[in-house]
Amino acid sequence: MPGKHMARRRVAILISGRGSNMAALVAAARGADYPAEIALVLSNRSDAKGLATARAAGVATAVVDHKAFGKDRVAFEAALQRELDVHRIEIVCLAGFMRLLTPDFVARWHDRMLNIHPALLPAFKGLDTHARALAAGVKIHGASVHFVVPEMDSGPIIAQGALAVRADDTAEALEARVLAIEHRLYPMALRLVAEGRVRVEEGRCLIDGARRADEVLLSPASAGLNPPQDN
C-alpha cells in the first residue's frame, strides 16, 4: 500500500466512445488511498461521449483527431505523446480506444500501458467477443486487463474477471454483465500497477505480495453477479 506521502501515479485514459470504463477509473481514483490519479482523458474523436463525462467529473481532457493526420500514424502518435508529456503522464490506460498503435509507440510505453478487453484472453481477441463466446458455447466468459504489446489483445495478463454464461443469454445480456465486471476489474488492475506490484517475467505478470487470488481475479462467486451455489 502506498504511504500517505507517496505520490500518486499520473494516469491518462485514452477513449474513443462512451467511456464507462474511464468513468469507473475516475470514480476509483477519488478514493483517498487509491495510488493513481486520472490526470488526463484523451480521445481521438471530439464527439466521444466520454469526454463530457470526464469534464463533468473535473478531469482534464484533450482531443487528438486521427483524421487530421490522414494515414500518418507516426505524426498522430507524436501528437498523442505531446499531450501525455504536457500532463506528465506515467501510466496509460486504453479504455475503448479504437486505434491501433505502432510498435514504436507501444515500446515507449512498455509495461506502462494497459488495455481492457471484453473476453477471457487469450480467447476471443478482436471484436464481437460476446456473440463469438455464445456461438462457441463457452460456459465461462469475462474480461481481461493486460499490458499492451504490438500484437492486438495480446500481452501479459494482469487481472481477469469471469462469469457463468447462461443457457438463454444473448450477446447484449452478456455484454451488460461483462461490462459490470469490467468496471470493477480495471480499477483493481490499475491499482496493482500503480502500486508497482506487477512484474513481467517471460511474458507473464507476477504480482508482488498477492495474498489472495481475488486481487487479480473476479470469479463468479466473488463478482457477486451469479447466484450462489447451494452446497
Residues forming the active site: 117
Does residue 158 contact residue 192 with C-beta atoms inside 8 Å? yes
User: CB-wise, 22 or 198, nearer to ligand GRF?
Assistant: 22
Q: Does 220 bind ligand GRF (CB under 6 A)?
A: no
Q: Does 80 bind ligand GRF (CB under 6 A)?
A: no
CA distance readout (Å), 139 to 67, 159, 175, 228: 41, 19, 15, 16
Q: Does 83 bind ligand GRF (CB under 6 A)?
A: no
The residue range among 80-88, 113-121, 134-142, 201-209 that interacts with ligand GRF, by the rule CB under 6 A, is: 113-121
Q: Does 21 bind ligand GRF (CB under 6 A)?
A: yes
Which grid coordinates belong to 214?
481475488
Asked if omega into 118 is within 30° of 0 (cis), the reply is no
Cβ burial, residue 10 (10 Å; 0-12/13-18/19+) = middle
Measure the CA–CA gap between 127 and 98, rounded to whole angstroms. 11
Does residue 16 contact residue 43 with C-beta atoms inside 8 Å? yes
Residues in the chain: 231
User: CB-wise, 122 or 196, nearer to ligand GRF?
Assistant: 122
Cβ burial, residue 137 (10 Å; 0-12/13-18/19+) = exposed
Q: Does 116 bind ligand GRF (CB under 6 A)?
A: yes
According to DSSP, the β-strands at 113-117 and 91-94 are parallel
Q: Does 35 bind ligand GRF (CB under 6 A)?
A: no
The binder of ligand GRF chosen from 26, 29, 90, 96 (CB under 6 A): 96
Q: Does 161 bind ligand GRF (CB under 6 A)?
A: no
Least separation in angstroms between residue 153's CB and ligand GRF is 9
The residue range among 16-24, 54-62, 78-86, 106-114 that interacts with ligand GRF, by the rule CB under 6 A, is: 16-24
User: CB-wise, 35 or 161, nearer to ligand GRF?
Assistant: 161
Q: Does 189 bind ligand GRF (CB under 6 A)?
A: no
Measure the CA–CA gap between 75 and 184, rounded to whole angstroms. 34
Measure the CA–CA gap between 215 and 14, rounded to whole angstroms. 24
Least separation in angstroms between residue 151's CB and ligand GRF is 16
The binder of ligand GRF chosen from 11, 14, 20, 188 (CB under 6 A): 20
The binder of ligand GRF chosen from 117, 146, 177, 184 (CB under 6 A): 117
**Residues near ligand GRF (CB under 6 A):** 15, 17-22, 95-96, 116-118, 179, 182
